Amino acid sequence: MPVEGGSSSGSASAARHPKQKRKAHSLSIRRTNSIEDRPPGFQRGEMLEGQDSKLPPSLRNNLLDLFGQIEREFENLYIENLELRREIDSLNERLTGDGQTIEGGDPTKGAMKTKASHSTSQLSQKLKTTYKASTSKIVSSFKATAGSRAVCQLLKEYVGHRDGIWDLGVTRNPPVVLGTASADHSALLWSIETGKCLLRYAGHAGSVNSIKFHPTEQMALTASGDQTAHIWRYMVQLPVPPPPPDVSVSTFCVDSSDREEGEVDAEGPCEVPTVRVATATLKSHQGVVIAADWLVGGRQVVTASWDRAANLYEVETSELVHALTGHDQELTHCCTHPTQRLVVTSSRDTTFRLWDFRDPSIHSVNVFQGHTDTVTSAVFTVGDNVVSGSDDRTVKVWDLKNMRSPIATIRTDSAVNRISVSANQRIIALPHDNRQVRLFDMSGVRLARLPRSNRMGHRRMVCCTAWNEENQSCNLFTCGFDRQAIGWNINIPALLQEK
């Protein structure tokens, strides 16, 4: 498992350079010519002779030295201009000998009339088009950031897992809590406001790779490396939020022997309620179950496994309804549409597949080959879009009505892990292998990068992001292999989204 270069600015610089150079040359010619027009023997020292100077001698000498340096610079420019003129005259003579003339080389001669002139004009037009496209990108990026900036603030750190956190999610109904799935074989539920651990699920015998909450009931769905997916119920009581503390670190027991350099000790009680028995166990896979999700309505779930298959189960009976086969390599993720019976699965075979269960009698599938490396996740948005992320360092936005080619492509500098898209503002949050988290809009314009330093942000690979737009303060969560989840306040001004 697991978004900027400077090429556009470089192109713009290249586009502006010829004009600036010509302007500098013409300016230097005019100024050096004005120096040549001085009367013979009129030297710099004589310019101030006969004038009553009230400047101190030392300051006056410094000024004369500076003027001398300026004059030498202009003389150098003048010499360069003379050499360029000689080269131009030489080229004009060669072209004239071949029966060609250049407009501007001789006032009495016309424009080019040969094939060489045609090819030169084509090249000039091509360069103009290229520079125009590059500068258009720069101008659009300036529009996106001019006048206002996104505000990204770290609000809360949830520390308590003894191994990396693969996935996280937020409950869809009250009480609203944060859930994390970890390689330490456990899933934890947290109070978003206080950062306190409320409950621990310890029913899996392997790494917990994903966690998703039922749309209406207090049930959670977890997928594990023990080749099963569990459905389990939880009951939590949210604590009363205390006054804002100086250090916002959650309270859960951590062995000092497991703590790494730079990690903080969690303070407070180690004992939290623990659930060890699942309500239902889904165990038809022959490999690691890497992800699972609820279908709309919550009566069925879909699981994705390293055995190259995705399975559809009935929640009430735990029976296997359909085995979704066709991927050539291990699956990496699965996601369901928020309002329709659609499923998208991602795989290491560089493809993602769209499964349609809206018609009970027809279960269609479409295969999309839009990446060149492992597709780490593909998610639905509110509307008719799918967003896919890959180890090939790209994220692509697709239209469900026309999936032939992406409507936007985001290129990054690191592999992309489990992405998420906010429902209201439609902002894509990208977690990266290089510890960064970046925010983009649906058209591929970068909005912000979450702050990161030695004391703030993730210190290892960021595995997943999840939005929580119902909360006005903590509205984005991230987790990584540094054993912590982080709650962020993301404020994207409307100006940045109305580019």
Q: Looking at 40-44, 209-213, 432-436, which range is the least confident one?
A: 40-44
What residue has token string 């350079």? 17
Q: Helix, strand or coil for residue 228?
A: coil
Architecture of the domain made up of 151-497: 7 Propeller (2.130)
Pick the more confident residue, 101 or 376: 376
d(CA 348, CA 167): 18
pLDDT grade for 118, boundaries at 50, 70 and 90: low
d(CA 200, CA 198): 7
Which pLDDT score, from 0 to 100, does residue 18 have?
A: 41
Whether the CB-CB separation of 331 and 305 falls below 8 Å is answered with yes
Per-residue pLDDT for 399 more than 60?
A: yes
Provide, rounded to the nearest whole percent, the portion of the chain with pLDDT above 90: 55
Whether the CB-CB separation of 2 and 415 falls below 8 Å is answered with yes
Which among 233, 225, 230 has a CA at the least distance from the CA of 184? Answer: 225
Q: Looking at 206-210, 238-242, 268-272, which range is the least confident one?
A: 268-272
- CATH 2.130.10.10, the chain: domain bounds: 151-497
Which pLDDT score, from 0 to 100, does residue 110 have?
A: 46
Mean pLDDT score of the chain, rounded to an integer? Answer: 80
Per-residue pLDDT for 133 more than 90?
A: no
d(CA 356, CA 337): 10
Pick the more confident residue, 306 or 138: 306
Per-residue pLDDT for 249 more than 60?
A: no
d(CA 419, CA 385): 14
Q: Can you spell out the DSSP letters for 9-69? A: HHHHHHHHHHHHHHHHHHHHHHHHHHHHTSPTT--GGGGSTTS---S-HHHHHHHHHHHHH
Per-residue pLDDT for 197 more than 90?
A: yes
Pick the more confident residue, 76 or 249: 76
Which pLDDT score, from 0 to 100, does residue 45 have?
A: 47
d(CA 458, CA 435): 6
What residue has token string 């166990």? 281
Which pLDDT score, from 0 to 100, does residue 388 have?
A: 97
Which pLDDT score, from 0 to 100, does residue 482 have?
A: 95
Q: Helix, strand or coil for residue 145?
A: helix
d(CA 453, CA 390): 25
What residue has token string 């210190």? 459
Per-residue pLDDT for 25 more than 60?
A: no
Amino acid of residue 216: T
Provide, rounded to the nearest whole percent, the portion of the chain with pLDDT above 70: 72
Q: Edge-to-edge, what's the strand order for the sheet holding 151-159?
A: 151-159, 484-491, 476-480, 462-467
Beta pairing, strands 375-380 & 362-368: unpaired
Q: Looking at 74-78, 223-227, 431-435, which range is the least confident one?
A: 74-78
Mean pLDDT (whole number) for 267-273: 62
Beta pairing, strands 300-305 & 229-233: unpaired
Per-residue pLDDT for 17 more than 80?
A: no
Tokens of 52: 């009553």
Beta-bridged to residue 322, according to DSSP, are: 312
Q: Edge-to-edge, what's the strand order for the sheet holding 197-201?
A: 165-170, 177-182, 187-191, 197-201, 274-275
Q: Looking at 143-147, 370-374, 400-404, which range is the least confident one?
A: 143-147
Pick the more confident residue, 383 or 295: 295
Mean pLDDT (whole number) for 314-319: 95
d(CA 201, CA 92): 83
Beta-bridged to residue 179, according to DSSP, are: 169, 189
Which pLDDT score, from 0 to 100, does residue 403 have?
A: 82
Which among 274, 275, 273, 268 has a CA at the least distance from the CA of 254? Answer: 268
CB neighbourhood size of 69 (10 A): 9
Q: What pLDDT digit, counting tens, does each position of 139-183 carry?
A: 444 444 434 478 899 999 999 999 999 999 999 889 999 999 999
